[in-house]
Copies of this chain bind each other. A is one copy, B any other.
């Protein structure tokens, strides 16, 4: 008697993964360098040299028991302290060790955040377009994820729909800025308005509505774009961070939960994360990676290629007549397809070896996502294919 809910999930295959598998298979036919694979958000730039050097030095010099021993259940104290100090330095909020819980990437951080503040049946609101994995992440806790429809002209927040959906059953609101898949960064105005509403409604309903801020793209922000620190706007913010994108090590599963020091019961919440871990088999991110990341805190991989790629693609897409909000960060761009059915659109693109992802599962049908975390040279070569595709299928310029 296997558990049906998991067995049933096997039939629903992720579109992104199917496309990525297509790209791999096609790559074996014509050479992967000739497949313009915009499907996966896998960082393309290498981890910083300092990280690798630190790892090698630690492996050589540190006693193995210190390097590879059990981490305390909240994470290694010195690492948590280093992260808290960095957050304080950068964002001016008085984070301390006791506000930080080490987690296995953003997925691990979110798994703890959801369990901290939702009982089965409680609602979490998020905003389209959104990362489709939020559904299994939330649904399998027993809470209910509801998606506020997008404001498609800016991909900021559709406040009218939000205020309507923000009922008493909502215990948390989940945002992701800079955003996957739109690439948009929420403005100060957006965050101010959002948090004002949360304050008002928390008071009205007599319970805290927590703001869960999923920030894996925090360090990938383009020139001239303001990226406000969400926690600075709202006391009851649970920040979920991952080093996957900033340091280009998504496989090493390292991130954290940072509870706003001004949040009610902040320290208790961190301790509760340690209890949640026991129920989900999470026993801290890898010890050596925790220690290495702390040594290179505030460093990032060379993220400039993403902005270069964005500028090339954005210009070309606009030239070709696409409607597209200019990304403020991340390595995604999110144009409107040239026909209503973006699945059909993306299927046709495959004939040109362009692997684009239709945005139905992101909550924004009619749009598609391009993950441009690939070499600039390949982006440039893809423009020819893109132009041919648009001209031949849609009579574009």
Binding site for B on A (CB under 8 A): 1-3, 6-7, 9-10, 42-44, 46-47, 52, 55-56, 59-60, 63-65, 67-71, 103-105, 107-112, 115-119, 133, 136-137, 139-141, 171, 207-208, 248-253, 265, 268-269, 271-272, 275-276, 278-289
Question: Separation in Å of the A8 CB from the closest CB of chain B?
Answer: 9
A251 to B44, CA, bound (A): 28
Question: Separation in Å of the A68 CB from the closest CB of chain B?
Answer: 4
Of all chain B residues, the one with the shortest Cβ separation from A106 is: B281
Q: A2-B269, A42-B70 are in contact. List 12 more A-B contacts (CB 8 A).
A: A1-B117, A1-B208, A6-B272, A43-B69, A47-B68, A65-B248, A68-B248, A69-B250, A136-B275, A137-B281, A282-B282, A286-B286
CB atoms of B287 and A252 under 8 A apart: yes
Given known A1-B207, A115-B6, contact A107–B137 (CB-CB < 8 A): no
A288 to B285, CA, bound (A): 13
19 A-B pairs with C-beta separation under 8 A: A2-B269, A2-B272, A3-B115, A7-B272, A10-B271, A52-B60, A55-B55, A55-B59, A56-B56, A59-B59, A65-B248, A68-B250, A137-B279, A140-B279, A249-B287, A252-B286, A252-B288, A285-B286, A286-B286
Q: Return chain B residues, CB-CB under 8 Å to A282.
A: 104, 107-108, 111, 280-282
CB atoms of B104 and A281 under 8 A apart: yes
Instruction: Return the contact of A104 from the options B60, B65, B104, B137 (Cβ within 8 A).
Output: B104
Question: Separation in Å of the A104 CB from the closest CB of chain B?
Answer: 7
CB atoms of A251 and B119 under 8 A apart: no
Instruction: Return the contact of A3 from the options B69, B117, B287 (Cβ within 8 A).
Output: B117
Q: Return chain B residues, CB-CB under 8 Å to A271.
A: 10
Q: Return chain B residues, CB-CB under 8 Å to A119.
A: 3
Question: Separation in Å of the A224 CB from the closest CB of chain B?
Answer: 29
Q: Return chain B residues, CB-CB under 8 Å to A44.
A: 65
Q: Return chain B residues, CB-CB under 8 Å to A116.
A: 2-3, 6
CB atoms of B281 and A251 under 8 A apart: no
Instruction: Return the contact of A69 from the options B42, B141, B207, B289 (Cβ within 8 A).
Output: B42
CB atoms of A64 and B42 under 8 A apart: no
What's the number of copies of this chain in the assembled complex? 2
Of all chain B residues, the one with the shortest Cβ separation from A112 is: B281
Instruction: Return the contact of A278 from the options B103, B104, B136, B250 (Cβ within 8 A).
Output: B136
CB atoms of B111 and A280 under 8 A apart: yes
Q: Return chain B residues, CB-CB under 8 Å to A283.
A: 104-105, 107-108, 253
Given known A104-B281, A140-B279, contact A69–B2 (CB-CB < 8 A): no
Question: Separation in Å of the A382 CB from the closest CB of chain B?
Answer: 19
Q: Return chain B residues, CB-CB under 8 Å to A65.
A: 42-44, 46, 248
A109 to B207, CA, bound (A): 37
Of all chain B residues, the one with the shortest Cβ separation from A105 is: B283
A236 to B256, CA, bound (A): 37
CB atoms of B268 and A111 under 8 A apart: no
A264 to B279, CA, bound (A): 27
Q: Return chain B residues, CB-CB under 8 Å to A289.
A: 286, 288
Q: Return chain B residues, CB-CB under 8 Å to A284.
A: 251, 253
A252 to B70, CA, bound (A): 8
Given known A47-B64, A287-B251, A288-B251, contact A3–B279 (CB-CB < 8 A): no
Q: Return chain B residues, CB-CB under 8 Å to A103.
A: 281
Given known A2-B116, A68-B249, A117-B1, contact A275–B141 (CB-CB < 8 A): no
Question: Separation in Å of the A391 CB from the closest CB of chain B?
Answer: 34
